Amino acid sequence: MDKTLIVYASDHGTVEKCSRELFRLMDGKVDMCNLNRREFLPDLSTYDSIIVGGSIHSGKIQDVIATFCNEHLDLLAGKRIGLFINCLYSGAKAEKQMDEAFPEVLNQKAIIRDYFGGEVDELKLNFLERIITKQMIEKEDLVVALSKEKIERFANIISSANEEKE
Ligand SMILES: Cc1cc2nc3c(=O)[nH]c(=O)nc-3n(C[C@H](O)[C@H](O)[C@H](O)COP(=O)(O)O)c2cc1C
């Protein structure tokens, strides 16, 4: 049976929530690895599919995700890849953030890439973060929401690809 690893980093819980939802929706053997909490990285070579997910802050994905992708680029490029981000922008701006979040080779290689939307929980944000997000939302009239449909579609595409190979 194909094995899938979800590697992710989450500042205030949205990416974690989406990763758990993917985990719940996907068939087969699925493991999760939170790069902010891990003590060791699982052996990537043992996985058939690897999903990488992070969130965008001030236009950038977390350093820990960028470093993970670059350090393991050759190995990742040989796997079935899925990439996702959480962010508040949608459309062309979200696409651009996604393009810049991951190395070109992974963007090209991915069988699915998507942005799932974002969340803003004022209780989890510090003063500055609250001001930044408030300004973003008001200036651009952004809709703060997660797309359940996109998460389901993403999980289905990886699960189907895992099954096809068997
Ligand atoms: C300080 C700050 C800066 C942000 N900058 C961006 C940004 O540049 N573009 C964007 O689309 N979303 C931005 N966001 C929205 C986050 O990507 C969104 O809140 C996401 O749900 C965070 O996920 P996480 O809590 O798992 O890290 C920002 C959020 C914060 C708190």
What is the tens place of the pLDDT at every residue in 43-59? 999 999 999 999 999 99
| Residues facing residue 84 across a β-bridge | 53, 114
- Domains contained in the chain, CATH given: 3-160 (3.40.50.360)
Structure tokens at 141: 């009239």
Closest alpha carbon to 87 in 49, 108, 114, 106: 114
Pocket around ligand 1 at a 6 A CB cut-off: 10-15, 55-59, 86-89, 97, 118-120, 125, 129, 132-133
* Ligand 1 atom closest to the CA of 12, numbered from 1: 25
Lowest mean pLDDT among 63-72, 78-87, 143-152, 157-166: 157-166
The span from the CA of 47 to the CA of 43, in Å, is 8
pLDDT for 51 equals 98
Instruction: Place 38 in a pLDDT band, splitting at 50, 70 and 90.
Output: confident
* Ligand 1 atom closest to the CA of 119, numbered from 1: 21
Contact 88, 144 (CB under 8 A): yes
Residue nearest to atom 31 of ligand 1 (CA): 129
The span from the CA of 87 to the CA of 99, in Å, is 13
Per-residue pLDDT tens over the stretch 131-145: 999 999 999 999 999
The span from the CA of 44 to the CA of 157, in Å, is 20
The span from the CA of 15 to the CA of 35, in Å, is 12
Q: Please name the amino acid found at residue 63.
A: D
Per-residue pLDDT tens over the stretch 110-122: 999 999 999 999 9
Instruction: Place 16 in a pLDDT band, splitting at 50, 70 and 90.
Output: very high
Lowest mean pLDDT among 38-42, 99-103, 106-110, 117-121: 38-42
pLDDT for 165 equals 56
Tally Cβ neighbours within 10 Å of residue 121: 11
- What is the pTM assigned to this prediction? 0.97
Asked if the model's pLDDT at residue 37 lies above 60, the reply is yes
Query: 85: CA distance to ligand 1 center in Å?
Result: 10
Contact 41, 72 (CB under 8 A): no
